[in-house]
Structure 1
Amino acid sequence: MAESPVNFLIEKLAALFDNEVNLLRGVREEVVCLRWELERMRAFLRIADALQESDEELSVWVKQVRDIAHETEDLLAEYTLLQRHNHGTGFYGSLCRFACCIKNAKACYRIAAELKSVNLRLRTISEVHKRLRHKFSRVEQGLGSAGAFNTWEDHRDDALLLDKSDLVGIDGRKKQLVGWLIEGGLGREVVSLAGQGGMGKTTLAKQVYDDAEVKKNFKVRAWITVSQSFEIEDLLKDMVEQLYKAIKRRVPPEVGNMNNNRLKTTIKKLLQRQRYLIVLDDVWHLHAWRAVQYALPNNSFGSRVVLTTRNTDVATTACIESEGKTYNLEPLPPSDSWDLLCRKTFQGNPCPPHLEEICKYILKRCEGLPLAIVAISGVLATKDTRRIDEWDMVARSLGAEIDGNDKLKDLKKVLSLSFNDLPYYLKSCFLYLSIFPEDHLIEHMRLIRLWIAEGFIEAKEGKVVEEVADDYLNDLLNRSLMQVATTTSDGRVKTFRIHDLLREIIISKSRDQNLVMVVKGQNVQWSDRARRLSVHYTLQHLLPNRSVSQLRSLFMFEVTEKLRLHTSFPGGFRLLSVLDLQNSHLKKFPVEVVNLYYLKYLSLRDTKVKIVPRFIGKLQNLETLDLKHSLVTELPVEILKLKRLRHLLLYRSKFVSYELFDSRSGFRVMANIGVLQSLQKLCFIEVNQGSGNMVKELGNLNQLRRLGIVKLRREDGKVLCSSIGKMTNLRALSIASFEENEIIDLQHLSTPPVLLQRLYMRGRLEMLPHWIPSLHSLVKLSFKWSRLKDDPLVYLQYLPNLLHLVLCQVFNGHRLCFRAGGFKKLKILGLDEFDELKCIQVEPGAMTLLEDLSIRRCRFLEKVPSGIEHLTKLKLLELSNIPAELFNTLRPNVKDSEYWRVAHIPEVYSTYWREGEWKVYSLESLSDGENCPLPSTVIKTHELHTRWK
């Protein structure tokens, strides 16, 4: 995988001349020779990258080219640093410049000599290049055809294995497992799913876990991922936290300090009187089951434990001890395998007759392994169906390597083939995922910003680099090389993960190719020229006095010790471009950052840092500054020197359990923030300072895609409208007033941002802004404290793409009416604190796609919404802090019962905030003769407020 670093280096070499960097004569000559030779090799590198695993000589040559590219890049970076010293003015400055010139001259001549040595080596391997090129000339011609590099179309739904509509051969398995869980004895039973890696154990377990009948029968559920390298204490704490969420109670602070025995006792106490379902996913060894076995009470309520494992001994032993059952997951039968292949490869269309024989041959080699079929289908889907030779090449490349009984190795071969078929620009992006620990949920935007900082994203005309990076991500998702973990309410990917087997492959490949070195255990061998270092869990395994002078990126994940960079890395790392210390034990801004001229990405998110020093202004190349959830409240004026800054994140969210909205504290900035014209994300800034100049300056930030402001004053509304009108790229806008009763005046916006997708407003409104109904791209809308006199639904109901609507203290009227034909795409609706509201009416044909309805703190509401029976897609109804009499009207089998209106809704429950915690009442808890609902367990496992965020 040398093409990416060579391309990057060629761009660097070109920039040296374009920017007229002062090059010594010897340096200039060597740079010219390097550039010419590398450009001559570049065309063949793409072929070599694809074929190097099948030819040892080719693999050695690729490694040599890659090493030369890295070494040259480091020399040029060092040379550039030598040219940019500023020693001030006056006699002392002149003296310093003279001394530095002598020192730098020696260094420059040394660099010129090293570049000359590099050129000699490059000429030597150039002779090998000529011979290899002749050897692979026929392959080069074949791979060079247009069909080999087709652009991957965006079929994300086809790439998500966890999407039920895309699963095959699962209904029968799911039905049997659901029956095992719901039926059977009253004792606690274990149901084990056993099978090799990639067989679909987790996928099947998740379908069973989310089944409506299972949810109905098990009010307390928790999903625990165990993994191979689990820690007992972490596993138990995870279970405790999930169980507290499931029963809607706050996690006691003392949980963090509990030992294993107290954690087990807590779990047992929480579950003793519940019918529960616990899933233990990916259990490798029996001692993992032993760690939790006696914390799960046998309470005679028919509780169940689902255990997925690759180890049949673990499955059998656990079931014998608990009188349970084992389900051995078998490979997909030929018919289901063929169905899956066609769905993934041909988007559900039939296989073309001329490709059937090849596809059946490939399918036979996959041996019914779902993950293998999905992976190879991702390769096939990029091929031109008219080019049978391309399909034949894929079939032949599987070869004898896939034969044999070692199916785990077979699966790795298939997944490696999927990696090898990636375009060169995606290979670095994919291998880069090896920085993240096992089972880590990778945040979408975090990865996007990191890819950009690393230089992996190639600019494309008409798109900003963030959009190109999104295309890259979608491509990997479409090839099933990544799995979506969570999405937002409006369908955006929030987090994703990598399959364990894929992660093993990319860690090995990234280490071999010197892309990423992961340090998480003892005796880890890593090169002095490691480009990227990812430290997992502890600093103890870092080798003392190990040089990292060539390091480009440093990551810390879940490191428990207090972080001191100068102690862990005494030699420093002047060439660093990425420093990600998120969630580290850090109280002070690391002073070592001051010398990192090349730094593009700096994250101190979730640290205890309070002050950003003035030397931040020296980081001229900084593009991302992430201080989210730190203790920083103000930035120095030197931040205005960072003209390349694209993402500035600085805010804290304070969630109050009895509130529905997160209150976000912003930060203070200087009035002339408008000079940072590269900014794309700015969240959240306080704008109540000065005479409105800061709000006016925001109009200069016309590249903004997301803007969050707090403490807006009424008098600044007109200026803010003028500024927003200039933000033609705006996708998300959040506005909060100075205080609850402060009026937000946004009637003056003549040109609304047509691309706006998410709008959040918190503050008084004299009337609904006239431009909101024209936001045809809007998918999510949230209002709080508006206190309108007129019904806002009249103006909002025809927003064509609105999916998620939250209204809190928005309307002072007695009646809300959702009219026929309105809110055609709405899926989530939240109504909160309508102080005068007595009646809600839903006309037939309104909100036909609504799935989730929450009504909270409407104290005068007399009945459930009239017409709610027309909402046939509704899956959940939550009534929170409403009169108990209303919930009692839903009691079945009583006079004038309204139960018939909600009988079709799978989940109906009421919640109340009492004594510092949520009390949850389910509809099933109602019984004759009672005046109020009975306490019950919560239906959903996630926090109640997530739907409102």
Structure 2
Amino acid sequence: MEIGLTLGRGAAATVVKPAFDRVQYWIELLQGKHTSTEEMVNDLDILEGLIKDTDSSSAIHTLKAARGQAEDLCASIRDVLDDAKRFARYNHQHVPLRCIRKYTHNIVGKPSICETAERIVKLRSQVRRLQEILTPFVGQGMVPGIAQAGRLQNHHVAHALTEGHWEGMEQPKASLFQYVLGGEDHRQVIVLVGMPGVGKTSLARYVYEDNQVKGHFNCHAWMTVEDSCATKQLLLGIISRLYEEANVRLPDAINIMDEDELSGMIQRFLKQGERRYVIVFDAISRRGQLKLLLDLALPDKNHPNYGRVIVTSRNKDVTEACDHTITVAQLTSPNDWSLFCYKAFGSTNIHPGEEVCQLRERITKLCAGLPLAIDVLSALLAKKEHSQWSNIISELERHGNLGAATEILETSINELPNMGHKSCLLYFSMFPKSSTVSHNTLVRLWIAEGFIKRQTRQTRQAVAEKYLSDLVDLHVLMVEHSYKYGRPKNYKVHDLMHQVIQKKAEDEDFCASSCVGNQQALEKVRRLSIQTKEGDFRQNVSLSKLQTLFISNKIPHAPKLLASTIALKVLSMEGSLIEEFPKEINNLTHLRYLNLRNTKIARLPMSLGNLTNLETLNLKGTLVSELPKTILKIQSLHHLLAYRYDAPKRPERHPEVIFGVKVPKGIGQLKELRTFSVVVVDKESKIVKELSNLKKLRRLGVLNLRRKDGSDLCDSIAKMDQLSSISITAMDDEYLDIHNMSVVPPQLQRLYLRGQLQVVPQWFTSLHRLVRLRLSGSSLNEDSINILQSLPQLAELSLIRALNVDQIQCQTGGFRNLKILDLDQLHSLVSIALHGGSMKNLRKMIIRNCRSLQMVPLGTEQLIQLEELHLFDMPNYFLERLRNGNEDHTRVQHIRNIFYYRKGFPHGSIEATMR
């Protein structure tokens, strides 16, 4: 009897409690309260913790299925939290009319309160069920010494091959230089062949970017060749790179040209005048593909123009289409051990202890002479105690030496400090092989995906940047390019690493790259990158679980795909040939990141305001000139990028014409904005005053500033204590009245000003962290140079039509940290004098079209760090003074690379004629 009563009570509880909870949540949501959502946040934290804690457990089917369900559940919880925010919209407004608005909004709002309350109850019960399944697996399957991340060490160790550590590869390096710089004056094709991870691309990149090679050729292009890449896309890439370097505008009809038209353009371009070209085709896998490119695009062997084509391939059959073959072999003893010691300990002169030396044979056998495997394994071991090395190596050896590099890469992924690092690395599988991705793009995407959690006293951006630094330190991620002042510009992963993470991402249902023939089970994927050719992606597919979608090509049925992705949080359609804003986006209310960069979109709909969770809106390169008023509803917006350049091409280099966007009045309501570029100042000057409300801004771009607006802009900027970058353009180059800045943003690092200043503002003396400064049309006097040269951290200075002086005097110790100096169209400038110790760290000097300048700066011979001198459209008498035996030769003879250009086009190096 008692047992039956107990069972009856239990059954009643399972029915009554959910119903009670449903009513309770309904009432709370109606009132705009957060109690229920706070409980959901706690559930989300618990679930995410369980996913992390079981990441290294045995990959049995039960656990894998449960983890997949848990990740789907986390996504659903985040969606509910987004919906619940709407019901709290009027929570703090107690005026009677506004209370009526609140309850009306919450009753008729979509989704309805009843539906949301029902989902909360259902999701919370699923959390409890998955907790019971996952908890027993916590901590299982941990490999001692591998799955427990240690403290990062040896941060100073960079990628050996990319910084010139070439022990064991001297012969292929010397051969490649010989073939590229010597030989006959017609097209020669050189192939670097070898197995993956042996260093082919690193070697090709090293030679391609060598300053002597750069000066030997005046046309350069680097192309990474995917197996699935269409010939037309490769031809388009080649001509785009050649035209961009030559400062020539591409024809408007370039995208609709066929292969014959594109190949004809390339042939005509390379056959003109004395053009000498070097073109790299990286990672070509098929002989036929290479032969087709050579036959279509590049002048044949009988044409006298000096051309070199460098090819990297793992396929020996490709050599039959080439003139010279260089085999890049695996490293052998002692070079493999020397490279390992260099990477693990920072020097080849350090003699490791006996405990490490005893592992030498096992380590070198495991790495199989592959620099990539040595690179990653050394980073993996370097952050461990030496006593742990043997266990780690033993674990790797269980998988056999065949495919050692792949196994080491997989282990390095499992070894990452936490689940967030792993997700950030796996995210590179969303991009095509060999892609470079910018620093800011990665940070914004990772935050939008939820990989980055805010930590004590650290913003999410700071945490994301720390993750980037960690991944580089562990050698699983490479910095592809950096700014001269040190900050990384963009990143990439090695092709073999890309192959590993792509497979791992698909095995774990993290994401899928949709190529031809690989479109099964897309209904289950959470992230999808469509990289097919036009028309290849099938239409009858449901993407209801999809959270992230990249569309890089023209997919005719893209609207139908978007209609089935109601849970989407990240959408990138960059470069897609769309001309109208897809109306299906209006229903993606959970969207946090929307990238429409370089599309043909010219107008945004009023329904944009539906995207109330949006954090990043990228409209760079579009034709959008005005934002709808409804953007003010997107209170969560952090990054608003909306501008495009119209760069006038030859015959003379003029400043790029920039177009920004008009914004509605009330833009100051978007108080979460961090990036706001570029806003067009309105006639009433109200926008400039509203900027004072955007106190969290880090980057600001302002266009069409009038003299009367200057004081208000200074007042607004003075309230932005986090600002690191400012770009201000005056209307029609009129006077920039920005001299009365009461408080200078203490974090300011980059400053770009276009318009008349006449004198440098006095507040420039407070720019203690400024690293980049570009002044255009400033009409500065001689005294202004004294202020500029005292800036302690200034690393890059560009002066474009910025000086009304006939001489520049750089005082002793001036410009002490300057690394790049760019002087452009300073037509009244006659002489420059560098007094003792000024510009002592200068690496690169650029002088463009300074018609009155008589000679290189006096004191140039003291610039012992100066590596490059670039001279654009300078008078013949200026160049004659540099030649061997003439007046200025001794001043520049220590400079390794001196280049000159005519009408913006590379004309070669005068290094040979000077000596």
Shorter-chain TM-score bucket reads 0.7 to 0.9
- Paired with 2:217 and 2:718, the residues of 1 have a C-alpha distance of 51
Q: TM-score, normalised by structure 1?
A: 0.84
Q: Is 1:601 the counterpart of 2:601 in the alignment? A: no
Which stretch has the larger CA shift, 539-548 or 847-856? 539-548
For each residue in 1:548-587, what CA deviation from the matched residue of structure 2 results, as whole angstroms up to 9, or x when unmatched? 2222222211x1245641x3344x3322211222222222
Query: Which letter maps to 1:402?
Result: G
Q: Is 1:309 the counterpart of 2:313 in the alignment? A: yes
Tell me how far 1:84 sits from its aligned partner. Answer: 5.3
Tell me how far 1:863 sits from its aligned partner. Answer: 2.5
Q: Tell me the equivalent position of 1:67.
A: 69
- Paired with 1:254 and 1:444, the residues of 2 have a C-alpha distance of 32
Q: Is 1:908 the counterpart of 2:902 in the alignment? A: no
- Paired with 2:27 and 2:756, the residues of 1 have a C-alpha distance of 56
Q: Tell me the equivalent position of 1:673.
A: 667
The answer (yes or no) to whether the contact 1:579–1:601 under 8 Å persists in 2 is yes
Q: Is 1:522 the counterpart of 2:517 in the alignment? A: yes
Q: Tell me the equivalent position of 1:401.
A: 399
Structure 2 SS opposite 1:429: helix
Q: Tell me the equivalent position of 2:547.
A: 552
- 1:764-803 correspondence runs (5 A): 764-803=756-795
- 1:294-693 correspondence runs (5 A): 294=295, 295-298=298-301, 299=303, 303-315=307-319, 317-319=320-322, 322=323, 324=324, 326-348=325-347, 350-358=351-359, 360-385=361-386, 388-389=387-388, 391-404=389-402, 409-422=403-416, 423-522=418-517, 524-538=519-533, 540-557=535-552, 559-562=553-556, 564-565=558-559, 567-570=560-563, 572-657=564-649, 658-690=652-684, 692-693=685-686
- Paired with 1:817 and 1:34, the residues of 2 have a C-alpha distance of 62
Q: Tell me the equivalent position of 2:55.
A: 49
Tell me how far 1:47 sits from its aligned partner. Answer: 5.3
Give % identity. Answer: 31
- Paired with 1:812 and 1:109, the residues of 2 have a C-alpha distance of 72
Tell me how far 1:152 sits from its aligned partner. Answer: 3.2
Query: Which letter maps to 2:281?
Result: L
Query: Which letter maps to 1:899?
Result: H
Mark the CA change 1:770 to 1:97 in structure 2 (over 3 Å): closer, same or farther: closer
The answer (yes or no) to whether the contact 1:63–1:513 under 8 Å persists in 2 is no
Query: Which letter maps to 2:718?
Result: G
Q: Is 1:290 the counterpart of 2:296 in the alignment? A: no
- Paired with 1:29 and 1:745, the residues of 2 have a C-alpha distance of 53
Query: Which letter maps to 2:68?
Result: R
Query: Which letter maps to 1:224?
Result: M
- Paired with 2:394 and 2:751, the residues of 1 have a C-alpha distance of 53
Q: Is 1:77 the counterpart of 2:79 in the alignment? A: yes
Mark the CA change 1:30 to 1:291 in structure 2 (over 3 Å): closer, same or farther: same
Query: Which letter maps to 2:191?
Result: S
For each residue in 1:632-686, what CA deviation from the matched residue of structure 2 results, as whole angstroms up to 9, or x when unmatched? 1111222222221110111111212233532321212234322211111110112
Q: Tell me the equivalent position of 2:180.
A: 181
Which stretch has the larger CA shift, 509-518 or 901-910? 901-910
Mark the CA change 1:112 to 1:898 in structure 2 (over 3 Å): closer, same or farther: closer
Mark the CA change 1:455 to 1:135 in structure 2 (over 3 Å): closer, same or farther: closer
Tell me how far 1:794 sits from its aligned partner. Answer: 1.2
- Paired with 2:745 and 2:354, the residues of 1 have a C-alpha distance of 50
- Paired with 1:302 and 1:871, the residues of 2 have a C-alpha distance of 34
Which stretch has the larger CA shift, 870-879 or 412-421? 870-879
- 1:137-176 correspondence runs (5 A): 139=142, 148-152=148-152, 155=155, 158-160=157-159, 163-165=162-164, 168-176=167-175
Query: Which letter maps to 1:48?
Result: T
The answer (yes or no) to whether the contact 1:651–1:683 under 8 Å persists in 2 is yes
The answer (yes or no) to whether the contact 1:45–1:62 under 8 Å persists in 2 is no
For each residue in 1:663-712, what CA deviation from the matched residue of structure 2 results, as whole angstroms up to 9, or x when unmatched? 3212122343222111111101122431x443232222221111111122
Q: Tell me the equivalent position of 1:884.
A: 876
Q: Tell me the equivalent position of 1:279.
A: 280
Mark the CA change 1:835 to 1:46 in structure 2 (over 3 Å): closer, same or farther: closer
Mark the CA change 1:772 to 1:258 in structure 2 (over 3 Å): closer, same or farther: same
Query: Which letter maps to 1:240?
Result: I
Mark the CA change 1:722 to 1:17 in structure 2 (over 3 Å): closer, same or farther: farther
Q: Tell me the equivalent position of 2:197.
A: 198
Q: Is 1:899 the counterpart of 2:912 in the alignment? A: no
Tell me how far 1:527 sits from its aligned partner. Answer: 4.3
The answer (yes or no) to whether the contact 2:575–2:599 under 8 Å persists in 1 is yes
Mark the CA change 1:671 to 1:352 in structure 2 (over 3 Å): closer, same or farther: farther
Query: Which letter maps to 1:552?
Result: Q
Q: Tell me the equivalent position of 1:7.
A: none
For each residue in 1:309-345, what CA deviation from the matched residue of structure 2 results, as whole angstroms up to 9, or x when unmatched? 1112222x134xx3x3x22112223333233323333
- Paired with 1:426 and 1:812, the residues of 2 have a C-alpha distance of 52
- Paired with 1:787 and 1:884, the residues of 2 have a C-alpha distance of 27
- Paired with 1:30 and 1:892, the residues of 2 have a C-alpha distance of 77
User: Pairwise CA RMSD of aligned residues?
Assistant: 3.8
- Paired with 1:826 and 1:103, the residues of 2 have a C-alpha distance of 60
Tell me how far 1:478 sits from its aligned partner. Answer: 1.8
May I ask how many residue pairs the two structures share in their alignment?
A: 874
- Paired with 2:366 and 2:330, the residues of 1 have a C-alpha distance of 12
For each residue in 1:809-829, what CA deviation from the matched residue of structure 2 results, as whole angstroms up to 9, or x when unmatched? 222121112233222221211
Mark the CA change 1:601 to 1:187 in structure 2 (over 3 Å): closer, same or farther: closer
Tell me how far 1:402 sits from its aligned partner. Answer: 3.2
- Paired with 1:607 and 1:101, the residues of 2 have a C-alpha distance of 31
For each residue in 1:739-789, what CA deviation from the matched residue of structure 2 results, as whole angstroms up to 9, or x when unmatched? 21x222222223212211111111111421112133121111111111122
Q: Tell me the equivalent position of 2:692.
A: 699
Tell me how far 1:355 sits from its aligned partner. Answer: 3.2
Q: Is 1:923 the counterpart of 2:910 in the alignment? A: yes
Structure 1 SS opposite 2:620: coil
Mark the CA change 1:37 to 1:856 in structure 2 (over 3 Å): closer, same or farther: closer
- Paired with 1:491 and 1:83, the residues of 2 have a C-alpha distance of 41
Mark the CA change 1:19 to 1:303 in structure 2 (over 3 Å): closer, same or farther: farther
- Paired with 2:792 and 2:100, the residues of 1 have a C-alpha distance of 69
- Paired with 2:105 and 2:720, the residues of 1 have a C-alpha distance of 46
- Paired with 1:236 and 1:101, the residues of 2 have a C-alpha distance of 49
Mark the CA change 1:21 to 1:529 in structure 2 (over 3 Å): closer, same or farther: farther
Which blocks of at least 5 consecutive residues in structure 1 are unaligned? 1-15, 929-949
For each residue in 1:451-505, what CA deviation from the matched residue of structure 2 results, as whole angstroms up to 9, or x when unmatched? 1111110111222211111111121122222222233343322222222222222
- Paired with 1:563 and 1:812, the residues of 2 have a C-alpha distance of 57
Q: Is 1:242 the counterpart of 2:244 in the alignment? A: no
The answer (yes or no) to whether the contact 2:755–2:778 under 8 Å persists in 1 is yes
Q: Is 1:738 the counterpart of 2:737 in the alignment? A: no
Structure 2 SS opposite 1:308: strand
Which stretch has the larger CA shift, 29-38 or 163-172? 29-38
Mark the CA change 1:541 to 1:461 in structure 2 (over 3 Å): closer, same or farther: same
Q: TM-score, normalised by structure 2?
A: 0.86
Structure 2 SS opposite 1:592: helix
Structure 2 SS opposite 1:305: strand
Q: Tell me the equivalent position of 1:724.
A: 717
- Paired with 1:20 and 1:42, the residues of 2 have a C-alpha distance of 28
Tell me how far 1:366 sits from its aligned partner. Answer: 0.5
For each residue in 1:375-399, what CA deviation from the matched residue of structure 2 results, as whole angstroms up to 9, or x when unmatched? 11222233245xx13x233112102
Structure 2 SS opposite 1:781: strand
Tell me how far 1:732 sits from its aligned partner. Answer: 0.7
